[in-house]
Amino acid sequence: MLDTAPLPQFPTAEDGVHIVLLGDSTLDNGRYLDLAGGELSVEKQLAKRCLERGWDLTVLAQDGSMLDDVRKRQLPLIPQTATHIVLSASGNDLLSLLNQMVVANFTLSSMYETIGAGLTSVSDDYRDILKELKGFGCHSACCTLYRPNFNHLFFKSLATMSLGLHNSRISQISEELDVSIIDLANMFDKPDDFANPLELSTTGGSKIVENVTMFVTEHPISRLRRTNNVYTYDDEAVLPGGTSFFGIPPLHCCATRLPVRKVYASKAESASLKAPDKALASSDPQGPALPFSRAQENWRNPIDKPDSNPPDSSPKRKEKVSR
């Protein structure tokens, strides 16, 4: 008797790629650039790339977001048509821990608590969010954290040690969950990559866009299945070892899924993408940063004091329909 079961429903060409950006100012860096001079944020550069490729883009990343903000304010807004999700978060959680040590005058107990229990708590929250992202059935990539461009030797050394521990945990979690990595930790190596000690410049943003492009290109939507207008991973994608000698597919529990995780750390920049464009830079005014971001001005510019009265903010959802 012939098998009349319906074939898997793969996305057609017109369905297209739909990228979603989640996280903090790493992906929402526009307010730290010279927009009047035409400098382009990560979002604007990626929007140009999406226009070239016929991709769609939704930006949910918001400056000042912590992991809890990503979970509560961004994940619920991920559109059903999303195919590729990029997460860059937890940097503000680590910065919060650094602030706690500063307030405690870097006592041994405060440093022990931060580097021990503090980092462990952040990595546990990070793991939970990646697990939730896997449930969306999209191609997912997470970013390691880059080292701030601090001049102070002590802060630079402390950041290097803490970020090294945290990034190793991000790498381990991504391996366990089969999530790709955009390795920002090994991508920015010159002052031109930074707009200030904490935030990336147009040049640094261009490197992110090039790596996001590679991630999307090397993870085609043909590897996803669409059911009821929602993308899920194609369970038929298994390693060759998952087939018997007679060509009979094994039971699902015996199959080994083909891993999709890749690591991206290209330092390539796109001169055309980061070229000044005053019209594009000012076409979409920046929404408000979350209060945590405004409180960190002392790290971005040590000469100035942070604003003690940050404005109220609300979740934002910015969609770029490129096609």
Domains in the chain: boundaries: 18-219+260-320
The predicted structure's pLDDT at residue 110: 75
Residues of the chain with pLDDT under 50: 1-14, 236-256, 303-316, 321-323
The one-letter amino acid code at 173 reads I
Pairing relationship of beta strands 84-88 and 139-143 according to DSSP bridges? parallel
Rg (CA), the chain: 21
Bridge partner list, 233: 224
pTM score above 0.85: no
Pairing relationship of beta strands 318-320 and 56-59 according to DSSP bridges? antiparallel
- Give SS3 for 231: strand
245-256 residues labelled b (16+ CB within 10 A) or e (exposed) = eeeeeeeeeebe
Helix ranges (H only) for 178-289 are 202-217, 271-274, 278-281
Q: Which phi and psi angles does 95 have, rounded to 5°?
A: -65, -35
The predicted structure's pLDDT at residue 304: 39
Q: Residue 79's CB: how many other CB atoms inside 10 A? A: 14
DSSP string, 28-77: --GGGS-GGGT---HHHHHHHHHHHHT-EEEE---TT--HHHIIIIIGGG
- Give, as one character, the DSSP assignment of residue 115: I
- Give, as one character, the DSSP assignment of residue 239: -
CA atoms of 131 and 70, how far apart (whole Å): 13
**Using an 8 Å Cβ cutoff, are 102 and 163 in contact?**
no
The predicted structure's pLDDT at residue 230: 62
**Using an 8 Å Cβ cutoff, are 60 and 317 in contact?**
yes
CA atoms of 85 and 58, how far apart (whole Å): 10
The predicted structure's pLDDT at residue 192: 96
Q: Which CATH superfamily is domain 18-219+260-320 in?
A: SGNH hydrolase (3.40.50.1110)
Q: Classify the phi-psi angles of 320: left when phi > 0, otherwise alpha if psi is within -120 to 50, otherwise beta.
A: beta
The predicted structure's pLDDT at residue 257: 55
- Give SS3 for 305: coil
- Give SS3 for 108: helix
The predicted structure's pLDDT at residue 14: 38
Q: Classify the phi-psi angles of 106: left when phi > 0, otherwise alpha if psi is within -120 to 50, otherwise beta.
A: left
Tell me which H or E stretch contains 176: helix 153-177
Task: Tell me the pLDDT tens digit for each residue of 96-146.
Answer: 998 888 887 778 777 777 778 889 999 999 999 999 999 999 999 999 999
| Angle of the 202-217 helix axis to the 42-53 helix axis, nearest 10 | 40
Task: Tell me the pLDDT tens digit for each residue of 278-297.
Answer: 999 988 777 778 999 999 99
The predicted structure's pLDDT at residue 106: 74
The one-letter amino acid code at 63 reads D
DSSP string, 148-162: P---SHHHHHHHHHH
